[in-house]
A = this chain, B = another copy of it.
Amino acid sequence: MDIVLLGSGNVATHFGKALSHAGHRIVQVYSRDLAHAAVLADALNTSAIDDLATVDPAADVYLIAVKDDAIGQVAAQLPASLKGAVVHTAGSVEMNILALQARTYGVIYPVQTFSVAKPVYFSEVPLALEASDEITYTRLAELAASLSIRVFPCDSRQRLALHMAAVFACNFTNHLYAIGAAILREHALDFDLIRPLILETAEKVMEHQPEDVQTGPAVRHDTGTIQKHLAALNGRPDLAALYQLISDHINHPQVISSK
């Protein structure tokens, strides 16, 4: 398919490369910053634009991969008459933000974390799909299937839940790694010491449900160890508060309330 890539950041780059690799044609790369668009456009052997009025109206898909709060603006500034569907890639933005003029539209949300530093095997990234109508869904499903073996329908409410789940299991998890690293640093110990444990913890839930493999002092009701840890954290009330709240939640996942 012919695709206009709207955005030139991390997600746009990963999509652009995967789409190009799958045999699609990237017609243009847009960014407000032309030099930034040009970097990705060069890599994809196509042209860069910084004016949404100059978007090619004959493309099959207009893929918006910009910051969440800019998606609406980009969609609104696109020419009124476009051949293809306007699609965004965000977890927590409703599809209906694209419901402008007489267009078809949809969402392709990749359930993965992309970084510049590390390549991602796009072919195994789950792609959550939503579309304004059945014909558009079929077209987007075809496009998504050329990128990944894991394509599934997902409405805007489910997608928000999926993104939230990812925030807990990925973003927050990484912050717990950072807390572990900080505690080690304070005691002249290297983060490398818990790297095997971190990997093992993740690998364990590849085949098990996390509830079934919970370990540690909280789930064992080992109050002696919990008290020792809280005492050792007495200079860090921030960490003690997190320790207490998460430990309580492990044992009473429903009853903890916000104060």
User: Which A residues contact B (CB, under 8 angstroms)?
Assistant: 67-69, 92, 111-113, 115, 117-118, 120, 124-126, 128, 150, 152, 154, 157-158, 160-184, 186-189, 191-211, 213-219, 222, 224-225, 228-229, 232-233, 237-246, 249-250, 253-259
Contacts and interface: CB of A to CB of B under 8 A. Distances in A.
A13 B210 CA distance: 23
A164 B198 CA distance: 13
B170 A217 contact: no
A161 B184 contact: yes
Contact of A170 (B125, B183, B197): B197
A86 to B, nearest CB: 20
Contact of A168 (B163, B180, B195): B180
A165 B187 CA distance: 11
A189 to B, nearest CB: 6
Nearest to A169: B180
Chain A interface, >50% SS class: helix
Task: Give the 4 A-B residue pairs with the shortest CB-CB distance, closest first.
Answer: A171-B216, A169-B180, A202-B202, A241-B258
B183 A198 contact: no
18 contacts: A68-B222, A92-B225, A111-B193, A111-B194, A112-B197, A113-B201, A154-B189, A162-B189, A164-B232, A168-B176, A169-B179, A171-B250, A174-B214, A178-B214, A181-B210, A198-B206, A199-B203, A238-B255
Given A160-B232, A232-B161, A233-B164, A198 B187 contact: no
A225 B240 CA distance: 27
A218 to B, nearest CB: 7
A89 B232 CA distance: 20
Contact of A171 (B170, B193, B218, B244): B218
B238 A175 contact: no
Contact of A113 (B126, B183, B215): B215
